Amino acid sequence: MTDRIKYQLDESRMPTSWYNIAADLPVPLPPPLHPGTLQPLGPSDLAPLFPNAIIEQEMSTERWIDIPEPVREVLCQWRPSPLFRARRLEKLLDTPAKIYYKYEGVSPAGSHKPNSAVPQAWYNAQEGVKRLTTETGAGQWGSSLSYAGGLFGLDVTIFQVRVSYDQKPYRRALMETWGGRCVASPSNETEYGRAVLAQYPDHIGSLGIAISEAVEVAAKNDDTKYALGSVLNHVLLHQTIVGEEAITQLEMAGDDPDVVIGCTGGGSNFAGIAFPFIGLQLRGGANARKRRIVAVEPSACPSLSRGQYAYDFGDTGRMTPLVKMHTLGSEFTPPGLHAGGLRYHGMAPLVSHVKELGLIEARNYHQTACFEAGVMFARSEGIVPAPESNHAVRAAIDEALRCKAEGKSETILFCLSGHGHFDMSAYTNYLSGKLVDQDYDEKELAMALSGLPKVG
């Protein structure tokens, strides 16, 4: 058989360090600022929220950071993840392009998120932390952290956005199966939650509010820290194992991508697949090549393509540090969207920075176009993608169709960040014609942007 489908690495070839793009940036990342003083943050400012090892990683400019052995042992439960050549999709599209996808749905939680949940839980346990708090929207991060926390004896409290707490009981069941405790947010367990409920007793919740609640609990309890599933430098760092593996697997295949694609919510799976390739380019040498790197986001929440590059808060309660990022404003509420994991108002500072440096492109798609691509993918490759991942599938298909029109045989790599087994109701809506494309409200965006904090 010559037409190879899967490129698998032996466990012994799993990367032993993460790649830190901060080491290779031609211009350093603008620093995060203290929300009160507006001065650059020092490590001690983050100490109430994160363990020291994570703070070090957040600020590090070391190029390679060792993956601790106990973390590698857990990651080996599903890593190295497979790289597929999408031969059946190529045939369906009748394209001369070669399409590869790195499949992260093989993790216990069904997405890339455990790649960071496991090291975060381990570092916290090492430093004597007893409990982790976090937020979750669709439930993917909450379930990943429940799984990882349980492995290292940590209690995990998850503030789950009220609307998904009510509408997605299976997600909650998964979090509870792994030992996590879910609290519908806004809740009565925090001062901020109580203040929101006093004003709006039926509030459906938002990620920004849930982050404020989780941060408040961690800040007020010595034995409790906070864990974030995307956006921050250390989370992006942990995801680079995805792109590092892909580089080795594409070498096995004798290929090198002309286009690298990832969907972006907070930016972590995109950075995971993309940063190791950007690093090859930034460092120069034999493997340096200009590859197109494409970030794909929903048209209903287009922070990279339509947001302002400015200092903003990560949460609605304005408790987090200010970071410079592409943002729609921390008050922005995107319209209902099935790709819940992409509904965040901001973008990772590192992803925003490489966009400003011209190292990546951004584009956005409406959700019906993404589900159409996801169904084509499922009917050819078999795997049903997560609604978030459908954005990357759409872009990969469009690039392959461009290659067909131009008669070019380019190599396309995308990250299939997760499977869609928890999101079949979204597919039901799509297949029954009930899915509508929603644009965000321009007036609301203008208002949210006018509320950006003033930083000199």
Ligand X SMILES: *Cc1c(COP(=O)(O)O)cnc(C)c1O
169: preceding bond cis by omega (within 30 degrees):
no
Q: 140 or 316: whose CB is closer to ligand X?
A: 140
Nearer to ligand X (CB atom), residue 142 or residue 321: 142
Shortest distance, position 421 Cβ to ligand X, whole Å: 11
Give the whole-angstrom CA distance, residue 391 versus residue 420.
13
Angstrom distance (rounded) from CA 373 to CA 243: 23
Backbone angles phi, psi at 298, to 5 degrees: -75, 145
Q: Which of 57, 230, 316, 411 binds ligand X (CB under 6 A)?
A: 230
Which of 386, 396, 426, 449 is in the footprint of ligand X by CB under 6 A?
386
Q: Is 264 in the site for ligand X (CB under 6 A)?
A: yes
Query: CB of 298: closest distance to ligand X in angstroms?
Result: 10
**Whole-number Å distance between alpha carbons of 280 and 275:** 9
Considering the complex, state which of residue 224 and residue 268 has its C-beta at the smaller distance from ligand X. Answer: 268
Interacting stretch for ligand X, rule CB under 6 A, among 3-11, 85-93, 187-195, 382-390? 382-390
Residues 328-357 that bind ligand X (CB under 6 A): 341-342
Interface region with ligand X, contact rule CB under 6 A, candidates 26-34, 206-214, 381-389, 445-453: 381-389
Q: Which is nearer to ligand X, 71 or 231 (CB)?
A: 231
Closest separation in Å from C-beta 55 to ligand X? 20
Question: CB of 264: closest distance to ligand X in angstroms?
Answer: 5
Give me the DSSP letters along 198-241: HH-TT----HHHHHHHHHHHHHH-TTEEE--SSSSHHHHHHHHH
Residue nearest to ligand X (CB): 418
Q: Which is nearer to ligand X, 217 or 301 (CB)?
A: 301
- Between the CA atoms of 418, 57, 351 and 327, what dihedral angle is there, to the nearest 10 degrees? 100
Figure out which of the listed residues 330, 389, 390, 411 binds ligand X, where binding follows CB under 6 A. 389
Count of residues that interact with ligand X, criterion CB under 6 A: 19
H-helix or E-strand spanning residue 123: helix 114-126
Task: Please list every residue from 410 through 449 that binds ligand X, using CB under 6 A.
Answer: 417-418
Site stretch for ligand X (CB under 6 A), options 22-30, 209-217, 264-272, 421-429:
264-272
Q: Minimum distance from CB of 362 to ligand X (Å)?
A: 13
Q: Which residue, chain included where needed, has tokens 């045989």?
A: 409
Name residue 337's amino acid. L
| Separation of alpha carbons 299 and 365, rounded Å | 5
Of 78-117, which residues contact ligand X (CB under 6 A)?
111, 113
> Between 149 and 341, whose beta carbon lies closer to ligand X?
341
- Report the alpha-carbon distance of residue 341 to residue 150 in Å, rounded: 23
Nearer to ligand X, 196 or 207 (CB): 207
Q: Which is nearer to ligand X, 55 or 301 (CB)?
A: 301
Q: Give the residues across from 260 on adjacent strands.
A: 293, 413
SS3 276: helix
Could you tell me the end-to-end alpha-carbon distance of the chain, in angstroms, rounded to an integer?
63
d(CA 452, CA 332): 11
In this structure, the strands spanning 224-226 and 6-7 are: unpaired
Minimum distance from CB of 268 to ligand X (Å)? 3
Segment contacting ligand X (CB under 6 A): 30-38, 118-126, 260-268, 307-315?
A: 260-268
Choosing from 15, 180, 267, 276, the residue that interacts with ligand X (CB under 6 A) is 267
80, 193, 265, 349: which one binds ligand X (CB under 6 A): 265
Q: Round to whole Å and give the CA distance between 193 and 205.
A: 10
Cβ nearer to ligand X, comparing 190 with 417: 417
The smaller minimum CB distance to ligand X, of residues 309 and 344, is found at 344
> Which residue type does 75 have?
L
For residues 326 and 309, is the Cβ–Cβ distance under 8 A?
A: yes
Closest by CA to 142, choosing from 127, 128, 121, is 121
Give the phi and the psi of residue 73 in degrees, each rounded to 5.
-60, -40
212 versus 264: smaller Cβ distance to ligand X? 264
CA 374 – CA 370 distance, rounded (Å): 6
Residues at the interface with ligand X (CB under 6 A): 111, 113, 140, 230, 263-270, 341-342, 386, 388-389, 417-418
